Chains A and B, each alone.
Chain A
Amino acid sequence: MAQALDPHAAIVTEASGLAPEGALKTADGQPLARALARSSRRARRRAFLLVLPLLAFILITFVLPIGQMLQRSVKNDGFSANMPQISAWFHANPRGTEPDEVAWGALAADLKASAEAKTIGVVGTRINYEMAGTRSLFTSAGRKVRDGLAPPYREAVLALDEKWGDPKLWSVMREASSPYTGNFYLAAMDRTRDAEGNMVQAPEEQRIYIRLFMRTFWLSAVITCTTFLLGFPIAHLLATLPMRKSNLLMILVLLPFWTSLLVRTTAWMVLLQQQGVVNDILVWLGVIRDDQRLQMIFNQTGTIIAMTHILLPFMILPLYSVMRTINPSYVRAARSLGATSWTAFRRIYFPQTLPGLGAGALLVFILAVGYYITPALVGGSSGQLISNMIAMHMTQTLNWSLAAALAALLLLGVLALYWVYDRLVGIDNLKLG
Chain B
Amino acid sequence: MAVAAGNDAFVVFDHVQKSYDGQTLVVKDLDLSIGKGEFLTMLGPSGSGKTTCLMMLAGFETATHGEIRLGGKNINDVPPHKRGIGMVFQSYALFPHMTVGENLSFPLEVRGMSSAERNTRIARALDMVQMAKFANRRPAQLSGGQQQRIALARALVFDPELVLMDEPLGALDKQLREHMQYEIKALHDRLGITVVYVTHDQSEALTMSDRIAVFNDGRIQQLAPPPVLYEKPENSFVAGFIGENNALRGKIEQLDGGKALVRLGNGELIDATPVNIREAGKPTTVSIRPERIEFKPDLMPAGAHTLEAEVRDVIYMGDILRARLKVAGQDDFVMKYRNTLGQVKLSPGETIRIGWHPEDARALDPV
Please list the residues of chain A having a beta carbon within 8 angstroms of any beta carbon in chain B: 327, 329-330, 332-341, 343-344, 347-348, 351-352
Which of B92-100, B303-311, B335-343 lines the interface with chain A?
B92-100
Q: Chain A residue with minimal CB distance to B90?
A: A329
Which secondary structure dominates chain A's binding surface?
helix
- The 5 A-B residue pairs with the shortest CB-CB distance in the complex, in nearest-first order: A337-B107, A333-B93, A336-B87, A329-B93, A335-B80
Q: Tally inter-chain residue pairs, CB-CB below 8 A.
A: 66
A351 — which chain B residues lie within 8 A by C-beta? 97
A327 — which chain B residues lie within 8 A by C-beta? 91, 93
A348 — which chain B residues lie within 8 A by C-beta? 95
Q: In whole angstroms, what is the CA distance A348 to B105 when docked?
A: 13
Q: Chain B residue with minimal CB distance to A347?
A: B106
Distance in Å: Cβ of A326 to nearest Cβ of chain B: 9
The answer to whether A335 touches B95, judged by C-beta atoms less than 8 angstroms apart, is: no
* Given A332-B60, A333-B87, A339:B93 Cβ within 8 A: no
The answer to whether B81 touches A332, judged by C-beta atoms less than 8 angstroms apart, is: no
A336 — which chain B residues lie within 8 A by C-beta? 58-59, 80-81, 83, 85-87, 155, 164
Which secondary structure dominates chain B's binding surface?
loop
Distance in Å: Cβ of A136 to nearest Cβ of chain B: 66
B93 — which chain A residues lie within 8 A by C-beta? 327, 329-330, 332-333
Cross-chain contact of B81 among A329, A330, A339, A352 (Cβ < 8 A): A339
B154 within 8 A of A: yes
Q: In whole angstroms, what is the CA distance A340 to B59 when docked?
A: 13
B215 — which chain A residues lie within 8 A by C-beta? none
* Given A336-B86, A338-B81, A338-B158, A352:B97 Cβ within 8 A: yes
B111 within 8 A of A: yes
B317 within 8 A of A: no
A341 — which chain B residues lie within 8 A by C-beta? 79, 81
Q: Chain A residue with minimal CB distance to B60?
A: A332
Q: In whole angstroms, what is the CA distance A348 to B60 when docked?
A: 17
B110 within 8 A of A: yes
**CB-defined A-B contacts under 8 Å, sample of 24:** A329-B91, A329-B93, A332-B60, A332-B89, A333-B87, A334-B95, A335-B80, A336-B58, A336-B80, A336-B81, A336-B155, A336-B164, A337-B81, A337-B86, A337-B87, A337-B106, A337-B110, A337-B155, A338-B111, A338-B158, A339-B81, A341-B79, A344-B81, A348-B95
Q: In whole angstroms, what is the CA distance A177 to B112 when docked?
A: 74
B158 — which chain A residues lie within 8 A by C-beta? 337-338
Please list the residues of chain B having a beta carbon within 8 angstroms of any beta carbon in chain A: 58-60, 79-87, 89-91, 93, 95-97, 106-107, 110-111, 154-155, 158, 164
Q: In whole angstroms, what is the CA distance A330 to B83 when docked?
A: 17
Having A329-B89, A336-B87, A340-B81, one finds 12 other A-B pairs with CB under 8 Å, namely A327-B91, A329-B91, A333-B89, A335-B60, A335-B79, A335-B81, A336-B86, A337-B87, A338-B81, A338-B107, A339-B106, A351-B97
A347 — which chain B residues lie within 8 A by C-beta? 106
Distance in Å: Cβ of A207 to nearest Cβ of chain B: 46
* Given A348-B95, A351-B97, A352-B96, A338:B84 Cβ within 8 A: yes
Distance in Å: Cβ of B144 to nearest Cβ of chain A: 15
B110 — which chain A residues lie within 8 A by C-beta? 337-340, 343
Q: In whole angstroms, what is the CA distance A341 to B60 when docked?
A: 12
Q: Chain A residue with minimal CB distance to B55?
A: A332
Q: In whole angstroms, what is the CA distance A339 to B83 when docked?
A: 11
Distance in Å: Cβ of B4 to nearest Cβ of chain A: 28
Q: Chain A residue with minimal CB distance to B85?
A: A336
A337 — which chain B residues lie within 8 A by C-beta? 81, 86-87, 106-107, 110, 154-155, 158
Q: In whole angstroms, what is the CA distance A335 to B106 when docked?
A: 11
Distance in Å: Cβ of A151 to nearest Cβ of chain B: 82
Q: Chain B residue with minimal CB distance to A333?
A: B93
Distance in Å: Cβ of B103 to nearest Cβ of chain A: 9
B79 — which chain A residues lie within 8 A by C-beta? 335, 341
Q: In whole angstroms, what is the CA distance A347 to B102 when docked?
A: 11
Q: In whole angstroms, what is the CA distance A74 to B188 when docked?
A: 76
Q: In whole angstroms, what is the CA distance A141 to B28 when docked?
A: 102
Q: In whole angstroms, what is the CA distance A423 to B81 when docked?
A: 37
B58 — which chain A residues lie within 8 A by C-beta? 332, 336
Q: In whole angstroms, what is the CA distance A262 to B37 when docked?
A: 69
Q: In whole angstroms, what is the CA distance A337 to B84 when docked?
A: 7
Q: In whole angstroms, what is the CA distance A338 to B159 when docked?
A: 12
Q: In whole angstroms, what is the CA distance A325 to B87 when docked?
A: 21
> Which residue of A330, A333, A335 has the most chain B CB atoms within 10 A of its CB atom?
A333
Q: In whole angstroms, what is the CA distance A352 to B91 when docked?
A: 16
B60 — which chain A residues lie within 8 A by C-beta? 332, 335
Distance in Å: Cβ of B18 to nearest Cβ of chain A: 17
A340 — which chain B residues lie within 8 A by C-beta? 81, 110
Q: In whole angstroms, what is the CA distance A331 to B231 when docked?
A: 41
Distance in Å: Cβ of A143 to nearest Cβ of chain B: 74
Distance in Å: Cβ of A329 to nearest Cβ of chain B: 4
Distance in Å: Cβ of A341 to nearest Cβ of chain B: 8
Q: In whole angstroms, what is the CA distance A344 to B59 when docked?
A: 15
Q: In whole angstroms, what is the CA distance A76 to B87 when docked?
A: 72
Q: In whole angstroms, what is the CA distance A371 to B314 when docked?
A: 77
